[in-house]
Structure 1
Amino acid sequence: MLISLAPRRALLALLLAGTPSLAAAQPRAVTSQSPADLIVTNARVYTADDTRPLVEAFAVRGGRIVFTGSAREAATLTGAATQVVDAGGRTVIPGMVDGHAHFVGLAQKLRSVDLVGTRSYDEVIARVVDRAKTTPAGSWIVGRGWDQNAWGNTAFPTHEALSAAVPNHPVILDRVDGHAALANAAAMRLAGLTAATKDPSGGKILRDAKGAPTGVLIDRASGLVENKVPAPSREELRAALKDAVARMHSLGLVGMHDAGASRESIELFEDMAATRELNLRLYVMIGDNAEALQHYFALGPRNALYDGQLWVRAVKLYADGAMGSRGAALLEPYSDDPNNSGLLLSAPAHIQEVAERGLAAGFQVNTHAIGDRGNRVVLDAYERAFAQVPRADHRFRVEHAQILHQDDIPRFAQLGVIPSMQASHQTSDMYWIGKRLGPTRLYGAYAWQSLLKTGVVIPNGSDFPVEDVNPLISFHASIARQDARAWPAGGWYPEQRMSREDALRSMTLWPAYAGFQEQLMGSIAPGKYADFVMLDQDIMRIPADLVLQTRVLSTWLAGKLVYTASQ
């Protein structure tokens, strides 16, 4: 396997050497002396390209980088129509890519009740009441972002207070991780949810002492109510997706890996790409739906569609739930819930079967696994699939890989499996994760450095809308393992921190590698898309506690300005 035995630096060298556009380009040479369309000069450019990691200028022609090097050399490519951008000494980095997020989820969240940051159940209810004032009676109210772990009382809420405050609207509120939801009485009535309703496979209905639903629905149980919410029209969703793209651009994101999309959503993405409305490097994972998988496997992998706006060549599966709702599958019970070891959302045989089909069809398979049992189940299923359908350079992934047994950490490199992780989850979870796991299992929690030392790469992300869209939150978490208040002093298990160089790669070159895109993007290097971001601070040199104060000044896609900050 490509990753299996090579140390990480050797892998990066191989990645660069194996890329024709990079191998053929000398750091100081240009492919042609004809004028550039765009020259960025007087900058501190962190290229994420090991052949030339720091330069002061680069040139763009036809949407691609044609030169990186000195300002003097770049100036020789100036023509009458060349746009010259003097960065004034500012920092420029490659356009950032979120390696695991939810496109439609962000679009919907921007138009729903935002519950992120609520400090009590009363505050959640107050925000819903405010929305109800402007929502016709009988219409659904949808929200997302509550987290009982941030409240004084960390027990799951029950619906009674919400139902009393908002009796005339059906309400469904997703927990921050998307793996639990709270429904009010009106919503449960519309869904026919009663004490007689059985738990669905892969889900749990929380109940009171009499067996009546409390309103909290874990994992696939939330679908019992959410399936009753009217879907937005195609045009409503299209407009919301455009808003989501604008939000990403404003924070320096030029692309994302969409972790599980329906066929209907993918077809809308493709329609937007065809009409040049997408304006994003979108790497799509097909959701686990039998008909959708059959359709896309028959089409085969599709790469860089519509001038590099869309890739459809991956599948998203689910092994378990999430830590916050105690749905992540653990090898031993939860320390704070000794009768519970979490939930498996897919049978191991199903993961293996889809993995084998993916290998045969040339598709990458990426499986959500958070708990140590969930991760082991996925690695075991992948290993069996690789034995049945051997394929080099498959780049299969485990999405999240948050809690790992020590025995499983080296297996990622041995199997050529990529741990796709989200650094901001660590800083969100560190306040309470010890209660869930106890002290011993924490040594395998968010174990970035332990994994990196085995030779793998870690594409970083946010899992938005679970976490905030801002990619610099994950950059800061990667290098500091601290929250915005610099807590805890020295970082949470600081031996697992990333270097700044690796943190930058984790948001640029490594997501590109994880999406088979490294020949086209991920670094500022000749031959690649001219996707880059200008920042007002040097995140590679400033104190870690200033990173979160950094502003994106401009974002560029294929050499075109897609966002500029207001003065």
Structure 2
Amino acid sequence: MSAPNLLITGAQLWSPERSCATALAVTNGVVTAVGSDEEILALAVAETEHIQAAGAAVLPGFHDGHIHATAGGLALLGCNLDAAHSLEGYAGIIRNFALTNDSEWVVGSGWFGDVFTGGLPTRQLLDELVPDRPAVFTSHDAHGVWANTEALRRAGITRETADPAAGRIVRGEQGEPTGVLMDAAGELVSRLIPPHRPEDLRRGLLTAQQHLLSLGITAWHDALLGAYLTLPDSLPAYIETITEGSLRARVTGSMWWPPAAGPDCVPEILEKIQAAAEAGFKIRSVKIMQDGICENCTAALIEPYTGVHPEVRGDSVISPRHLADITAELDAAGLSIHFHGVGDRAVRECLDAVAHARRRNGPGQRHQIAHLDVVDPADIGRFAELEVTANLQPLWARNDQEVLERKFPLIGDSRARHHFPFGALRNAGAHLAMGSDWPVTSPDPLWGLHTACTRTAPAADHHAFNAESRTPAQPEERLSIDDAIRAYTLGSAEASGIAKETGSLQVGKLADLVVLTGPIANSESFDQVRVARTILGGETAYQRSQTAHRAEVPGRSGR
């Protein structure tokens, strides 16, 4: 066996479960030995790099199982409202961007509804900030578009404009559009925005990659390869960066299924997937959005929303019958489905569709449902029965002000008790994966792990400033440290179909790992440590500067 290029000793190893080993060796980008410090140090030669972890946690590289990386990178480079959580903050960011940018349209993202009186912004407010040209801002959850009057005028949206399928134009008391367009209605405006240039998409993707590496993320699953609202089609940028070798992370993705399209769209999707494979990006999954979000009353619920008149339950984007047929056909073609299911009825319809595929095809692909804000207790056990992965966005499972002010009043107390039922799913044997849905919320896995295990917001999260966010939300739904780490590493790798190569610190797997600034002693540790070093294929892809460390950080190299 060749001598190792890298040794890590003195580590608190998680592989992803807590290990009794304290050291590992890496040769040519692959883990070649795991054991005690003494055993691993005996493998060293003069040229071997040695990292002394000094008791800090060393884990498999984090794997974000649901993300929109290019959109996140473009947000970092553009008019990004995520940096603030106040009306004054938004106004300052928008005004400054408009003054320093001479583009025909002012486009940005990241607003939270709870910032505005009544829960939603207005076109008049945006008119004050951008009076001279069209302006469009996507909400942080990507299910709403805030447009000024000029953007509505160019789109021809008036009080007579009908709501499109799977979308809603928010209207005032006299029927006039307020400037907020929900879900598919946003495309009435977003389709007019000049498209991103290829070089902008490439820059956005590579900016995202560097940011994600700094957070210990070495792999991700892009949950939407296609264009939706102001989210650009990132597939060309992936193909370009794969071809040129600048995309270093382990990336998989889901081809976007057009909302409301029927089974006759299957051949078109298969052709797109084949074309992507021929261009160098193998795609094994299709993304289907079955509903919207609770805050907009577009999540599909079994019972009506609370306090909403006339009664609404939210629409199913695809009819259950068509969804079942689509799922069976894609499953038979060897593809997994990455469902968006927020409301309990949408979740049930997705599970029913998988059950139909199982009856028709027998055991098939591992499908997954992302988000799972509300799951009927009767459906919890079906995840394990049908081998459907529960793809969790853990940072959402806290009582922040938007949840308390905009969401819980609409779903009511009985459904709020089952809000993000992580623990119930785990106890019923469901397979778990985790992702951030960035740029919807922060991609920081340590923040997500903190909330998964405590059901509280991280201390530094400025989008959760209310006292209730520091009190555990549905504490019975907390996950153990072992279960949470597994979901954010190996669980996501399994869901993405690359667990043979990555996701755990095992001999023969790629040496993708993260060194933290300290050990994981309990669930509060995730909010106290940071990433000291990210290693991708045995090479350091990110190292935290010494001046940024909160305390003395392990991970200094020696020969």
For the pair 1:143 / 2:143, whether they are aligned, the reply is no
On the 8 A contact 2:453/2:523 being kept in 1, the answer is no
- Give the match for residue 562 of structure 1: 541
CA–CA distance in structure 2, aligned partners of residues 361 and 369 of structure 1: 22
Q: Indicate how the Cα distance of structure 1 residues 240 and 506 shifts in structure 2: closer, same or farther if over 3 A, else same.
A: same
- Give the match for residue 351 of structure 2: 379
- Give the match for residue 295 of structure 1: 271
Instruction: Quote how far apart the aligned CAs of 1:316 are.
Output: 0.2
Instruction: Quote how far apart the aligned CAs of 1:337 are.
Output: 2.1
The structure 2 residue matched to 1:456, chosen from 430, 447, 450, is 430
List per-residue Cα deviations over 1:76-130 (Å, max 9, x = no partner). 2212332222223322111001111112221221122222264444542332112
The amino acid that maps onto 2:163 is D
- What secondary structure does 1:255 align onto? strand
- What secondary structure does 1:232 align onto? coil
CA–CA distance in structure 2, aligned partners of residues 543 and 333 of structure 1: 37
List per-residue Cα deviations over 1:404-425 (Å, max 9, x = no partner). 1111111111111111111111
- Give the match for residue 366 of structure 1: 338
- Give the match for residue 552 of structure 2: none
- What secondary structure does 2:518 align onto? coil
CA–CA distance in structure 1, aligned partners of residues 522 and 270 of structure 2: 50
CA–CA distance in structure 2, aligned partners of residues 36 and 298 of structure 1: 39
The structure 2 residue matched to 1:441, chosen from 415, 435, 440, is 415
On the 8 A contact 1:47/1:54 being kept in 2, the answer is no
On the 8 A contact 1:117/1:146 being kept in 2, the answer is no
For the pair 1:333 / 2:304, whether they are aligned, the reply is yes
CA–CA distance in structure 1, aligned partners of residues 89 and 337 of structure 2: 40
For the pair 1:36 / 2:4, whether they are aligned, the reply is yes
- Give the match for residue 12 of structure 1: none
Counterpart mapping for 1:413-562 below 5 A: 413-427=384-398, 428=400, 430-432=403-405, 433-485=407-459, 487=468, 491-538=472-519, 540-542=520-522, 544=524, 546-562=525-541
Unaligned 5+ segments in structure 2 are 228-232, 259-264, 460-466, 547-559
On the 8 A contact 1:203/1:343 being kept in 2, the answer is no
Q: Indicate how the Cα distance of structure 1 residues 430 and 206 shifts in structure 2: closer, same or farther if over 3 A, else same.
A: closer
CA–CA distance in structure 2, aligned partners of residues 502 and 127 of structure 1: 39
CA–CA distance in structure 2, aligned partners of residues 286 and 114 of structure 1: 26
For the pair 1:277 / 2:246, whether they are aligned, the reply is yes
CA–CA distance in structure 2, aligned partners of residues 226 and 489 of structure 1: 37
- Give the match for residue 130 of structure 2: 166
For the pair 1:102 / 2:81, whether they are aligned, the reply is no
On the 8 A contact 1:423/1:475 being kept in 2, the answer is yes
Instruction: Quote how far apart the aligned CAs of 1:299 are.
Output: 6.7
On the 8 A contact 1:177/1:324 being kept in 2, the answer is no
The amino acid that maps onto 1:431 is L
The amino acid that maps onto 1:86 is Q
List per-residue Cα deviations over 1:369-394 (Å, max 9, x = no partner). 100111111111221222222234x1
Q: Indicate how the Cα distance of structure 1 residues 430 and 500 shifts in structure 2: closer, same or farther if over 3 A, else same.
A: farther
For the pair 1:193 / 2:138, whether they are aligned, the reply is no
- Give the match for residue 232 of structure 1: 196
The amino acid that maps onto 1:196 is E
On the 8 A contact 2:255/2:287 being kept in 1, the answer is yes
* More deviation, 412-421/486-495: 486-495
Q: Indicate how the Cα distance of structure 1 residues 292 and 73 shifts in structure 2: closer, same or farther if over 3 A, else same.
A: farther
On the 8 A contact 1:55/1:70 being kept in 2, the answer is yes
On the 8 A contact 2:201/2:234 being kept in 1, the answer is no
For the pair 1:391 / 2:363, whether they are aligned, the reply is yes
* More deviation, 356-365/341-350: 341-350
The amino acid that maps onto 2:166 is G
Instruction: Quote how far apart the aligned CAs of 1:265 are.
Output: 2.9
Q: Indicate how the Cα distance of structure 1 residues 125 and 326 shifts in structure 2: closer, same or farther if over 3 A, else same.
A: farther
Instruction: Quote how far apart the aligned CAs of 1:522 are.
Output: 0.8
- What secondary structure does 2:189 align onto? helix
CA–CA distance in structure 2, aligned partners of residues 299 and 127 of structure 1: 40
- Give the match for residue 58 of structure 1: 24
On the 8 A contact 2:87/2:115 being kept in 1, the answer is no
Instruction: Quote how far apart the aligned CAs of 1:189 are.
Output: 1.8
List per-residue Cα deviations over 1:286-330 (Å, max 9, x = no partner). 11144751214557989xx98xxx651001001000122221111
CA–CA distance in structure 1, aligned partners of residues 328 and 470 of structure 2: 46
The amino acid that maps onto 1:482 is T
List per-residue Cα deviations over 1:458-486 (Å, max 9, x = no partner). 11111100001211111000110012358
List per-residue Cα deviations over 1:477-499 (Å, max 9, x = no partner). 01100123584565111111000
Instruction: Quote how far apart the aligned CAs of 1:542 are.
Output: 4.6
Q: Indicate how the Cα distance of structure 1 residues 535 and 101 shifts in structure 2: closer, same or farther if over 3 A, else same.
A: same
- What secondary structure does 1:507 align onto? helix
- Give the match for residue 3 of structure 1: none
Instruction: Quote how far apart the aligned CAs of 1:280 are.
Output: 0.8
The amino acid that maps onto 2:238 is F
CA–CA distance in structure 1, aligned partners of residues 312 and 449 of structure 2: 34
The amino acid that maps onto 1:280 is A
On the 8 A contact 1:38/1:82 being kept in 2, the answer is yes
What CA RMSD, in Å, does the superposition of the two structures yield over aligned residues?
2.2
Alignment TM-score, normalising by the size of structure 1: 0.88
Counterpart mapping for 1:394-409 below 5 A: 394-409=365-380
- What secondary structure does 1:383 align onto? helix
Instruction: Quote how far apart the aligned CAs of 1:220 are.
Output: 0.3
On the 8 A contact 1:535/1:550 being kept in 2, the answer is yes
- Give the match for residue 210 of structure 1: 174
CA–CA distance in structure 2, aligned partners of residues 557 and 182 of structure 1: 39
Q: Indicate how the Cα distance of structure 1 residues 417 and 242 shifts in structure 2: closer, same or farther if over 3 A, else same.
A: same
List per-residue Cα deviations over 1:131-179 (Å, max 9, x = no partner). 111122x62111212112244x233222112113311121111111110
On the 8 A contact 1:367/1:399 being kept in 2, the answer is yes
Q: Indicate how the Cα distance of structure 1 residues 119 and 37 shifts in structure 2: closer, same or farther if over 3 A, else same.
A: closer
List per-residue Cα deviations over 1:23-52 (Å, max 9, x = no partner). xxxxxxxxx3x3112111122221215xx7
The amino acid that maps onto 2:493 is A
CA–CA distance in structure 2, aligned partners of residues 488 and 147 of structure 1: 16
Q: Indicate how the Cα distance of structure 1 residues 301 and 130 shifts in structure 2: closer, same or farther if over 3 A, else same.
A: closer
CA–CA distance in structure 1, aligned partners of residues 452 and 121 of structure 2: 32
The amino acid that maps onto 2:536 is L
